[in-house]
Structure 1
Amino acid sequence: MSESSSEPYRPRRGRWPWLIVLVLAIAGGYWFFVKSPSAPGQQAGISAGRGMPPAMAVPVRLATVETGPIDYTLKAIGTVTAFNTVTVRSRVDGELQKIAFTDGQKVREGDLLAQIDPRSYQVELDQALGQQKQNEAQLQNAQRDLQRYQLLFKQNSIAKQQVDAQAALVQQYLGSRKSDQAAVDSATLQLSFTRIIAPISGRLGLRKLDQGNMINASNTDGLVVITQTQPISVMFTLPQAQLPDVLEKIRGGQTLAVELYDRDDVRKIATGDLMALDNQIDVATGTVKLKARFANENESLFPNQFVNVRLRVGTAESLVVPTMAVQQGSIGAFVYLVDDESKVHVQPIVIGRVDEKRVAVASGLSAGQRVVVEGLDRLREGAKVEVVSATAAAPGGPDASAGLKARAPQTGAPAAGAPAAGAPAASPPSAH
């Protein structure tokens, strides 16, 4: 047997102090974080309890459910389109001698836009006129001969055949006179084409050719583009499900108003009338095209501009509440209804048409009831509310949010259904 195995067993004493220190550390942490009243979680709970008691009233602003007219409005995205667009092209070839317009200028129908070198076309006209005079002289001579032949035939001095031949020659020259007149008219027309005039009234774009260049009738780009912007049209589409309501009004002889708003859908920029509907529905999108007309007197609408379109189909009487009062949740649309004891209750509703700042209520409310429109983020079922006086801040005005912010807690936002910390003591709810 080895010497090491014969030695007596001796316990190791260096491990026990570390175990004791570990147990004490665990006990101290437990006491500090769980039992101690100065723990961070309990401090937050105490301050929250002291800041706002559970029974504190929440300042809110109310609106009364009332019966009133609400517009049936259909919204869409539209594109401004020029009422007429013309690419001005030359109908003859030649050198561009003069440009009589500036880029972006407004022109009227018949105004001179450009001048093409007319000399070659003037020569053709003079040639046609000369040929016409020559044939006219031959015609007159043939007609005088025919008169003499007819007189001689009555005297039995010449044969009938000679008279008929002279009559045929006169008819030949009469045909030549018509051809000569057509040639003169054609040369005159070609000469008039050297003056390029505006075919419609409108606003010019940027010219595509400069003075001194050759211009050709085959050039598809043309000289300039004219767009008619007064009046102007807007093209937009609606789903086929909304088409029957529009058709009913149009077939009844009504003119539907169309309003245009800017890209942010905030500022109204024009008002016009619905002009026409397309004769078929696009099977790919299930929509139908509509066209509206606008006077555009101040030229606020520009071709190819994107706008928000609101088509007003009609007006109906209904129960209405402000749009900001309606909330959406797992139960659908609902409002916070205030009872006579200034307590709020979640009231599910069925909404109908929406008219900007108002919503029609199909069911769930009755006229005269009060609903919350401001201060909704701190409400819960059965919460006590304090009604902010309407005279202190008008609904929707700049003072409304300021009045609520003055009463709101200054610390972080509370969780849903929980009281906020740091709020002032609640005052008795005032009568609405």
Structure 2
Amino acid sequence: MRRSTLTVTAVALLITCAAIAGWKLTRPATLPKNVTTAVPVKVITVSMEDVPRFVTGIGSVLSLQSVVIRPQVDGVLTRVLVKEGQQVKTGELLATLDDRSIRASLEQTRAQLAQSKAQLDVAQLDLKRYRQLTEDNGISRQTFDQQQALVRQLAATAQGNEASINAAQVQLSYTQIRSPVTGRVGIRNVDEGNFMRVSDAEGLFSVTQIDPIAVEFSLPQQMLPTLQGLVAAHSAAAVKAYQGDGATNGLLLGEGTLSLIDNQVSATTGTIRAKAQFKNPGEQLWPGQLVTVKIQTGIELNSLKVPPQVVQRGIDQHFVYRVTANNKVEVVPVKVLYQDSEQTLISGPQAGDVLVSDGQSRLRPGSTVEVVTAPAPEVASVPVELAR
């Protein structure tokens, strides 16, 4: 019995020792009491420079001239001389209508004019004879007056025939459909052989001017004084059109100038419409396209420019984290003078100050930082020392 008790006691001691040894090997590492953890951050150096100010808005591309080609006389469409999508110039022949009936009417009117002129010539000769006979009392004054009236009547008839000829020539010219503007031909709606009427709601096709082109956009009514100043300036304000948001990922489509602002503010939206004109030789701007418009409204001289993410918003003010010489951070209150998606102009720091641009969420006043070039990780690494 005594030997069994000793055996159980020995086994229990061995298990206890093994448990203590395992706990020492697997227990969590302990931090040294006086070790300070440096927070990795990215920084920028503030510089003083002249910074342009911009305002952005959403605009729609508009053609300066867009014309629906419709006939001015009724007739059968005999030929279409241009292709869809073709570039045409002002006055270029686009299509023709059947002109046979108009030509026949024109020839008939010319014949009537010739007849009227022949009758007028005879009447004028008779009038000349009657005048001599009247002087010799060979005919009555009444006969002379009647002949004189006949001459005027035939002259008026000839003049009317000439007017009819001019009208017929105009009608004949309408059978040749020419482009009133320089631009690009749209999709054709009518094929050759169809009878076209002046009253048709749908035209043959449209011709739309692409270069130059305009962009119409709206801005808040608070921008009205600024826009008025830009329009009244001697040099036209520069306007850029982007595909996208106009920031770093926006594709620049064209550079133009501000041309006009609307004559009234929209009472419904509280915005003012404006228009800019662009040279568009590469045809990157297309009618109906939505673009982001960016206008330079001025230049801030000797300004402190920082990326937007540098400025933090506090309870009652904006602030930045400034890195001191001993790699600690301090809070510096700032005043935001101007801000957009790409830049923020501030006052408060000094030129040459080093400000934190990434990693602010783990900072407190007096925190020690480590400047890194890669983006700061979400969780800082903690140095540990295993207990021996």
Shorter-chain TM-score bucket reads 0.7 to 0.9
Secondary structure of the residue aligned to 1:271 is: strand
- Matched to 1:261, the amino acid is Y
Q: Which residue matches 2:95?
A: 114
Runs of 4+ with >4 A deviation: 49-54, 421-425
* CA shift digits 1:139-192 (9 cap, x unpaired): 111111100101111222111111111111111111111110111111111111
Give the conservation status (yes or no) of the 8 Å contact 2:239–2:255.
yes
- Distance of 2:88 and 2:64 partners within structure 1: 15
- Matched to 2:313, the amino acid is Q
The Cα shift of 1:120 comes to 1.0
Give the conservation status (yes or no) of the 8 Å contact 1:343–1:384.
yes
* CA shift digits 1:320-343 (9 cap, x unpaired): 223231233434432211122211
Q: Which residue matches 2:270?
A: 286
Counterpart check, 1:387 vs 2:368: no
Q: Which residue matches 1:351?
A: 336
Give the conservation status (yes or no) of the 8 Å contact 1:337–1:345.
yes
- Distance of 1:279 and 1:51 partners within structure 2: 73
- Matched to 1:295, the amino acid is K
- Distance of 1:360 and 1:86 partners within structure 2: 47
- Change in CA separation of 1:94 and 1:141 when aligned onto 2, cut-off 3 Å: same
Structure 1 residues not aligned, in runs of 5+ = 1-36, 389-399, 415-419, 426-432
TM-score, normalization by structure 2: 0.86
RMSD: 2.4
- Distance of 1:324 and 1:53 partners within structure 2: 33
Identify the range of structure 1 (318-327 vs 89-98) with the bigger mean alpha-carbon deviation.
318-327
Give the conservation status (yes or no) of the 8 Å contact 1:51–1:422.
no
Give the conservation status (yes or no) of the 8 Å contact 1:331–1:348.
no
Identify the range of structure 1 (180-189 vs 239-248) with the bigger mean alpha-carbon deviation.
239-248
Describe how 1:45-194 pairs up with structure 2 within 5 A: 46=28, 55-194=36-175
Give the conservation status (yes or no) of the 8 Å contact 2:227–2:261.
no
Choose the corresponding residue for 1:338, options 301, 306, 323: 323
The Cα shift of 1:234 comes to 0.1
- Change in CA separation of 1:287 and 1:349 when aligned onto 2, cut-off 3 Å: same
Identify the range of structure 1 (344-353 vs 309-318) with the bigger mean alpha-carbon deviation.
344-353
Counterpart check, 1:306 vs 2:290: yes
The Cα shift of 1:130 comes to 1.3
TM-score, normalization by structure 1: 0.78
Counterpart check, 1:197 vs 2:182: no
- Distance of 1:256 and 1:52 partners within structure 2: 63
- Distance of 1:249 and 1:218 partners within structure 2: 45
Q: Which residue matches 2:8?
A: none
Secondary structure of the residue aligned to 1:237 is: strand
Q: Which residue matches 1:270?
A: 254
Give the conservation status (yes or no) of the 8 Å contact 2:231–2:259.
no
The Cα shift of 1:261 comes to 1.1
Choose the corresponding residue for 2:309, options 324, 332, 338: 324
- Change in CA separation of 1:304 and 1:53 when aligned onto 2, cut-off 3 Å: farther
Q: Which residue matches 2:7?
A: none
Structure 2 residues not aligned, in runs of 5+ = 1-21
